[in-house]
Structure 1
């Protein structure tokens, strides 16, 4: 293996060794890039190269001012660029190294998260943006001749032929039975389920007048004359005629396919009251940010609404959403009241909806049961989710998440997740994204 092969291998390893997606979500810097350009750090592998030892500058052709005499000192190596300016040595770590990132768009992020967590979320189209003709799979009783479904018509005629045809020669032999009347022949034919008319039998009976008496009874005919089925007749003679009827005609026309745009609005709600300290806020960001990226990658058009609340609620920009902290109390229902108002701009018939809320589960007395739960039930959405962040374990009055679980149980449109540390983040994301019902848009 040559040097070029070594270099190619180093580059390959360097490209492959970007940070693991789960590891990145749990511990990485999520602030890099933006919602449409996700930057995941690469674990750099330095490429090998040649350089001269700065301590070995002597030798043939290296002297200053000619060849030195025997025993003459040749001096010390001169400072080289990068060894420090004005004779001063540089301190290690003074200049940051250049960071490299693997740039990932939301579609790729969503695909990789599906694979890593075993998710299978299929976005639902809501708003019809186009109707177009699909394959000619539907049938009607009228249409241009060019769309006549001849194959179907032939099959219908063939089924009729197989049903209506019978062994005429055998019936003619029955007409030759001694003393038999047309009515007796007709009644026998009906008992045999032969589709023959009385008029046909009367004609056949008249034609057999000279041969009447050939057989003593119908049983005598059945013992001595071999009957031939319709299938055997077709195999022998082929099909000379297929009895078509007007009612057999069907004309193909295209199926009308509705192209639907996959729109989604995501409402992110965060408790910013005094109890939501830095570690809790970080866990909210570490959970909500990948959810935003994932849904951006899954839908054609994604809109995001950010609501902060203490005892009151207000809409904020994403840039300030994760950093706000107030000194007020907590009334979670105020955020849902604002969410319901803001979602009026995103009609349920046209938009998929996700309502994600997070906090430390502390809420004012009776607000969960009397305020939040009724509001959640009144807001149509693909999914409601609540994420409890309690790094030190549940506080005595942190009961909001438990009350939601008790009320909604294992419903297919409400998810409750607990995040006490970074290790819980990907489990919480899976819990949320795997809860949505398959038919929630109906």
Structure 2
């Protein structure tokens, strides 16, 4: 007689939203992120009884904020994406044991990062920390006339076959629904 381990989906889920609020993210880009986050959140709340949400904003530094601040803040400054990924990592390690929680980080940015070194740090965190622990890592890149969009290219090049990474390019408000389908259509 053999025993098979059956993996049951947990009812507890946490969604950690990270938003780039640096100078290259204009009001239109931030509004797109807020609209998309709002609808993703509404869908997940309907599907998970024990849903928790956390919110992180970042430019060169990251901080955790409440929902109201996340949906209304405007900062400026440079961009260090790793600041958000490190803060998100700390939140997961301190508050969400992976055997008890479905974990869904979402990061929204225009893809402009300060340095290749910081991007390498992010890619390393994704590979070594996030992918082994999360159900899905969503990266939504908002088109911006100021941002280079390089981060999306780096993700695609580094992780061409990573199942837990879902990338969505959000060109404008009209593309929000398609982007939400990219993220939620994976059934993770």
TM-score under structure 2 normalisation? Answer: 0.88
| Alignment map for 1:325-340 (pairs within 5 Å) | 325-340=74-89
| Alignment map for 1:20-419 (pairs within 5 Å) | 125-126=9-10, 262-344=11-93, 345-367=95-117, 369-377=119-127, 378-379=129-130, 380-392=133-145, 395=147, 397-419=148-170
Corresponding residue of 1:426: 177
SS where residue 98 of structure 2 aligns?
coil
Q: Is the 8 A contact 1:270 1:357 kept in 2?
A: yes
Q: Is the 8 A contact 1:412 1:436 kept in 2?
A: no
Q: Distance in 2 between matches of 1:285 and 1:339?
A: 18
Structure 1 position 411, deviation (Å): 2.3
Q: Distance in 2 between matches of 1:367 and 1:266?
A: 27
Q: Distance in 1 between matches of 2:63 and 2:92?
A: 14
Structure 1 position 409, deviation (Å): 1.3
Q: Is the 8 A contact 1:263 1:350 kept in 2?
A: yes
Q: Is the 8 A contact 2:81 2:119 kept in 1?
A: no
| Distance change >3 Å, CA 400–CA 436, structure 1 → 2 | farther
Q: Distance in 2 between matches of 1:353 and 1:283?
A: 23
Structure 1 position 320, deviation (Å): 1.0
Greater relative contact order structure (CA < 8 Å, 6+ sep): 2
Q: Which has the larger radius of gyration?
A: 1
**Residue deviations 1:298-339, cap 9 Å, x none?**
112000010011111100001010322222210001101000
Q: Distance in 1 between matches of 2:117 and 2:70?
A: 23
Corresponding residue of 2:3: none
Q: Is the 8 A contact 2:44 2:51 kept in 1?
A: yes
Unaligned runs of 5+ in 2: 1-7
Corresponding residue of 2:5: none
RMSD of aligned Cα (Å): 1.6
Structure 1 position 436, deviation (Å): 4.9
SS where residue 315 of structure 1 aligns?
strand
Q: Distance in 1 between matches of 2:125 and 2:187?
A: 19
Q: Distance in 2 between matches of 1:424 and 1:375?
A: 29
Q: Distance in 2 between matches of 1:285 and 1:300?
A: 23
Q: Is the 8 A contact 1:419 1:428 kept in 2?
A: yes
| Distance change >3 Å, CA 398–CA 368, structure 1 → 2 | farther
TM-score under structure 1 normalisation? Answer: 0.39
Q: Distance in 2 between matches of 1:367 and 1:280?
A: 25
**Residue deviations 1:226-261, cap 9 Å, x none?**
xxxxxxxxxxxxxxxxxxxxxxxxxxxxxxxxxxxx
Q: Is the 8 A contact 2:82 2:119 kept in 1?
A: no
Q: Distance in 2 between matches of 1:409 and 1:329?
A: 28
Q: Distance in 1 between matches of 2:49 and 2:33?
A: 25
| Distance change >3 Å, CA 374–CA 303, structure 1 → 2 | same
SS where residue 311 of structure 1 aligns?
coil
